[in-house]
Structure 1
Amino acid sequence: MIKEKILEGLQSLGVIILDGSYSICLAVAMVGLIFYMAGYKKGAKAVTLSIIIFVLLQAIKVVIK
């Protein structure tokens, strides 16, 4: 009973965190894009990684629900 409540609480916490991942990944991608446009070539990697991480987090979210 207690174990089920703890697992349910962790699951709902995980879903809340994953719901907020959109704004975080979007902000990182936008900053990376600005850096890339300013001439810092590694900014493109930040954009790419941000999109990949967002897709992976959304896949995890589907599995958790």
Structure 2
Amino acid sequence: MAAGYSGTPLAKKLSLKDGMRVWRLGMPDSVANEIGDAGFVLELLDRPQVNLDCAHIS
């Protein structure tokens, strides 16, 4: 584990919860995989829409 790393899972840091509507653009595969490994059931949107809960833009 890298020095200074808190050990808190990324999905928790991002406050993700089951059922959230999420749009992402340019998210690195490693980040998407880490979030996916957390086991949350997210609705991944193919474009930004009204009432989305989370957006990640790189």
Q: Tell me which interval the TM-score lies in, with the shorter structure as reference length.
A: under 0.3
- Which is helix-richer, 1 or 2? 1
> Larger RCO: Structure 1 or Structure 2 (Cα < 8 Å, ≥ 6 residues apart)?
2
Given the two structures, how large is their TM-score scaled by the length of structure 2?
0.24
Given the two structures, how large is their TM-score scaled by the length of structure 1?
0.23
Please tell me whether Structure 1 or Structure 2 has the larger radius of gyration of its CA atoms.
1
